[in-house]
Amino acid sequence: MAKKHVKVAVGVIIQNRNIFVSKRSEHQHQGGLWEFPGGKVEAGESVTDALNRELKEEVNIDVHSSDAFMIIEHDYGDKHVCLDIHLVNDFSGEPKGLEGQPCKWVSIEQLHELAFPTANLEIVAKLQAEF
């Protein structure tokens, strides 16, 4: 059986040196861990369009612009993910969990204190090194 490959648009939402994170539902892959909001890029959809759609559906913000930050390829054994990560600091609306997921703002300095999926640890490290 072929391993599932998933391309994911990820938004690192930044405001005043704080990052908006949400907690994955227990029934999801990597459930119970904190994450940067985003979701699967659908067939025929650009990463930017997927990011804008996912952040509106998931955390209720309208993205006005975003900047490419990094790309991470990670193999979880049961699934291979390609995370296309963008910094989002130009948006409107107040981020909140529209799917019942816990969400919060965390200072860049405190990000390493949260439990993230393994693939997200590189994002935390780069944010803490660059900001």
Pick out the residues of the known binding site: 24, 29, 35-38, 58, 120
Q: What Å distances lie between residue 73 and 39, 62, 83, 99, CA to CA?
A: 15, 27, 6, 26
Cα of 3 vs its chain's centroid, Å: 22
What does the angle CA 28 – CA 117 – CA 69 come to, to the nearest 5 degrees? 115
Annotated binding site for 8-oxo-dGTP: 24, 29, 35-38, 120
Q: Is 100 left (phi over 0), alpha (psi -120 to 50) or beta?
A: left
> Which two tokens mark 69?
């930050």
Binding site for Mg(2+): residue ranges?
38, 58
Specify whether the CB–CB gap between 21 and 106 falls below 8 A. Answer: yes
Rg from Cα positions in the chain? 14
